[in-house]
Structure 1
Amino acid sequence: MFIKQILANQVLLTGATAWLIAQLLKVILNYSMNRRLNLERFVGSGGMPSSHAAFIMALSTRVGLKEGWNSSLYGVTLGVALIVMYDAAGVRRAAGKQAKILNEIADEIFHHGELKQQKLKELVGHTPYEVIVGALLGILIALLLYYY
């Protein structure tokens, strides 16, 4: 019974729709740039646009539209949204840069396949631009789903 209620939650569905569209856009943009279909971009983190930002801003915007812009719930969701977006463009992006440097060091030390070293995932964060585009996408999707 509670699963049926969750699946009928318009706020959650708005966020999920924004995430889905953002992930699809990553695949499409990646294909247009590399002329190669990479379905891994559909489930991977990082890249343009930020699906984290799209999801959380769609969620927050839909709560604001439903509950009111001065509601406590909107304040909480906006606060969480700002933390998620800061993390995506700050902490996780820094982790990706560090992974890239560590991969380069490992390549230097273990070159020619003498010792197998698993590469660290480099694409984990977002540029501020990717976060802003994701946030705007989320807001737009929330507005479209609310009014149409």
Structure 2
Amino acid sequence: MKKAATTLGKGDPKEGQGEGSASELIDARINELSDWRGETLARIRMLIQQADPEVVEEWKWRGVPVWSHAGIICTGETYKSAVKMTFAKGASLEDPSRLFNSSLDGNTRRAIDFHEGDRIDEDALKALIRAAVALNTSSRAQKRTNSGR
């Protein structure tokens, strides 16, 4: 995993804000949750890192873990009844395992809501993460090619 981006914000530690690396802030969020949501977020994080060892962790929007590689791959938001994994370009991704179950109406994003007791299809999720990275890197390569003409 690449070095995490550093947050610039200060604020209420309960909001997960403060100074430190994004990785440290994500660690703190996982520990702060101390329930199934923390376990789920930790599991998702591990799967993202396994799927893309070059992933960069970021901390944005007042306490949202973000994983990037040549652009945002996905975010990991936590709510009372769900951990939401939102893919920035999810509408452009093939989802043969039908993991996406939220934010299905938009033209760009797609999300997966994980609820307490849900089983994560790890292989399908890692394939989706790899597809998001491939889309990001192909989009960046395409932009460089077009701008070089």
TM-score (norm 2): 0.28
Structure with higher RCO (Cα < 8 A, 6+ apart): 1
TM-score (norm 1): 0.28
**More helix, by proportion:** 1
